[in-house]
């Protein structure tokens, strides 16, 4: 994650507040979509893509639909 000046924000700065405020699924969704979009073009060389999702994301009501949507949108 980058701040307004383009500097990297270390995960320890934003992950705990994000989990506390139950917003982790939003970060996971963005990571999922961005990763799949970027990796779709090198899928054959890559072989597989692993993304770690938080427990909050997996427990979220729309988790399955978000994963399916990300896969379809990326054509993976």
pLDDT in tens for each of the 76 residues of the chain? Answer: 889 999 999 988 988 899 899 899 899 988 888 888 888 778 777 777 788 889 989 998 888 998 898 888 887 7
Measured distance CA(56)–CA(19) in Å, rounded: 8
Give the DSSP letter of residue 23. -
pLDDT at 73: 85
Ordered by start, the domain boundaries in the chain are 23-74
């Amino acid at each position: 994650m980058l701040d307004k000046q383009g500097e990297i924000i270390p995960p320890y700065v934003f992950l705990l507040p994000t989990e506390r405020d139950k917003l982790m699924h939003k970060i996971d969704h963005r990571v999922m979509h961005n990763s799949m979009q970027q990796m779709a073009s090198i899928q054959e060389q890559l072989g597989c893509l692993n993304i770690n999702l938080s427990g909050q994301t997996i427990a979220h009501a729309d988790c399955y639909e978000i994963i399916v949507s990300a896969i379809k949108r990326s054509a993976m």
